[in-house]
Structure 1
Amino acid sequence: MSKIILFNKPYGVLSQFTDDSGRPTLADYIRHKGVYAAGRLDFDSEGLLLLTDDGRLQHQISHPRQKLPKTYWVQVEGDIGPDALARLRHGVELKDGRTAPARARALAQPPVWPRTPPVRERLAIPTSWLELTISEGRNRQVRRMTAAVGHPTLRLIRMAIGNWKLDTLQPGHCREEEVFAAAKAPARRQRRR
């Protein structure tokens, strides 16, 4: 059995255990020894981060080739409408190429915890929420996608990675689960000369 830790990463925490600049890291929250982050979540993003003590499982979760779906709740600037959602569903053109199609739907204000510091509010500009599921792992992809359809991201919370869900886990808290060890990779054949 392998150990997996589901952690609700707060805003402003690095997805690593050390930092030479003294910023908050996973070491401030995670007391389990011998676990490593399976992927990353940006400093200014919140939500589900998986950690494991199994290198193969870590690779299966984080490698882009696995295309593990990741679901986010995203607060954006402006009222997101059907046209912007349709563009996200079909994939949008970014500087590093077109994204794969995403699942996207508008959300009513979800029941989320307050963020510290709070999201800036501008009285003249409304905000809205959407749920976005992607299967790629490009750098700051969700933020770039929402900006490309005219709705910059104000708050980004990862709610799920594959079948692992944040559920009621509060910021800064974690829970441990056991999973069957990752399947061994098939042995490589030696070429004969």
Structure 2
Amino acid sequence: MDWIWQGFQLFHKGGFVMYVLLACSLFVVYIGAERWLYYQTADSGRSFAARFYTLIKTKQYEKAKEFSQHSKGGLADILEEAMSREDTMPINGFVEIQSGILLANLRSRLYYLNSIVTMAPLLGLLGTISGMITSFSIFNIESGQAAAITGGVGEALIATAFGLCVAILSLVIHAYFIQRLDHIITDMEMCFSALELHSADIQGR
């Protein structure tokens, strides 16, 4: 239990900025967990896109429609509804609107991660500068407390180190979801291009 108490003391020595950075780190973890759970249900997966594309290219339209009906994710829902539409709205317009809504939901809250990547090191630097100002105060210099000054600078650097850790955590989570979002966009473009072939084939009959 001593290491917990020592860690708490070290955290407290970092100054008030440490509590702001702690709140940022908890917010990053919350966003990462919330987005991961959402992507688990909203992402149809690369295997779905490849399978759907193959079925459309081989003109197995009924199988493709049934496959999308029994698959999870936003892309599967859009494709299933697009193949079942009987109104006069062009299919391109429909998938463009629906995909825009899906992508907006997938990008939701990722901006906060990008902001924390920039903000966390700045907050850490602010805490360090504040601590160094205190360490190099006139009182310490006049008292000749060199050890106190050196120790104060070391404690002040805690805020910078913690800020960098928060920024790195946020950057890793943000990069993961951005890459996953890029894969989803690629899958959508592939499936929508195949869907155009299906629409052209149906209209040509």
- Provide TM-score, normalisation by structure 1: 0.23
Give the number of the structure whose residues are more often helix, by fraction: 2
Larger radius of gyration: 2
Normalized against structure 2, the TM-score is what?
0.22
